[in-house]
Structure 1
Amino acid sequence: MSIFVTGTGTDIGKTFFCSLMMAKYAEELGLKYLKPIQTGADSDRVKIMNLTGLNESYFLKNYYTFELPASPHLASEMENTTVDTDELSRHLFSIKDAKILVEGAGGVYVPLNRYYFTADLVEQAKIPLVLVASTELGTINHTLLSIDALRKRDIKVLGVYFIGPENPLRSDNIRTIIEAAEIGLLGTFLLPERKLSRKEFLDKVVKEFDPDRILPDLLFP
């Protein structure tokens, strides 16, 4: 079963979550990674590949790649291209039974073209979803709004994974969201304070991720 990974906004931690999942479970589960639409020169696919050290065979090629680091609708327009959302949704639907982490661009309502949003794509592709959320100030509003928008479309939300630095609001933010939304908590992870080498990431960070190994059964039963 493929899983769509989205966030409550940009730079929330989707790529870091995918890096952790790929590093810990790609070889064991035969898990692959796909970023359908990449905007900007800083490729998430390459970033995860370099951080995890996994062979290129675990990474599917981007469906679209645009130079401008902006929302897909604008990045594509700047290159006189339109994202074929029908074709893209059919492609994702065709791979929904494979074990693939599909990372979206930005959050739930990022436009892929002027009238079509990430939520439309996930709804049409019929892929269950993991929502990555921040632990910082403002996350209660952003996360509950995202969950509400997804549920109104009957998108299956498997749970929320929280990523962010330690702060005084962290524990209560998580508790408030989980209780208010009556949704599953997939886990939480403290962001490293500095950029890590591959060795540091694999030797320390990955070992701290999902210590009870609950995610394979929850996400890929």
Structure 2
Amino acid sequence: MSENCKQLHRWFNNLEKMNFPFDDKKILHNGIYILFEKGETAHNTDRIVRIGTHTGKNQLRSRLKQHFIKENKDRSIFRKNIGRALLNRDKDPFLDQWELDLTSRRAKEEYSVLIDVEKQKEVEKNVSQYIQANFNFVVIEVEEKEKRLELESKIISTISRCKECSPSPSWLGLFSPREKINTSGLWLVNELNKEPLSDEDMQLIKNLTANAAGINRFIE
């Protein structure tokens, strides 16, 4: 398992990393993204801290914008988890309000009066600043939705099972109130320790990363 994790880190780290602000045209329409975080290392290279994808067709760019730019934690569990860790680190009681999901009309009607709107905007900005300053990413192209979801799950499981990957003592995720985050070293709570990548899957990812390494042009 550790050897496969090491290979994944090597392959993904060989790709061109994108930082904020990023050019939309350099991001594929459909695929899987791999996030790295400043100060985190594993296998003598940058440590993978999150793997993600999208369900809607041609929505990879939109999904990454939801994480990096759009200040709405109810549309990005990644943003919500970063906010949880920041608030918990600072022992900020606003964490209870941050947990409320205001996506549905009913929830808005029920909880909006309980929310300190200005404080929420402030936390959203802090989350944006942290993500934009500390994360970069690579992407690989996977057109089929079912294959994207399958590979996403298996990559997560392979990395979460690795005994050689661990967070630094200063990793923000150690302040997460979600035990699965601070114990796994990943900004994830789902797909941990499930079915890992097979040899056939590893060959596929090797090919996908090789293809991605050859894309040095704008993708319209």
Q: State the TM-score bracket (shorter-chain normalisation).
A: under 0.3
**Structure number, greater radius of gyration:** 2
Higher strand share: 1
**TM-score by structure 2 length?**
0.26
Higher relative contact order (CA 8 A, sep 6+): 2
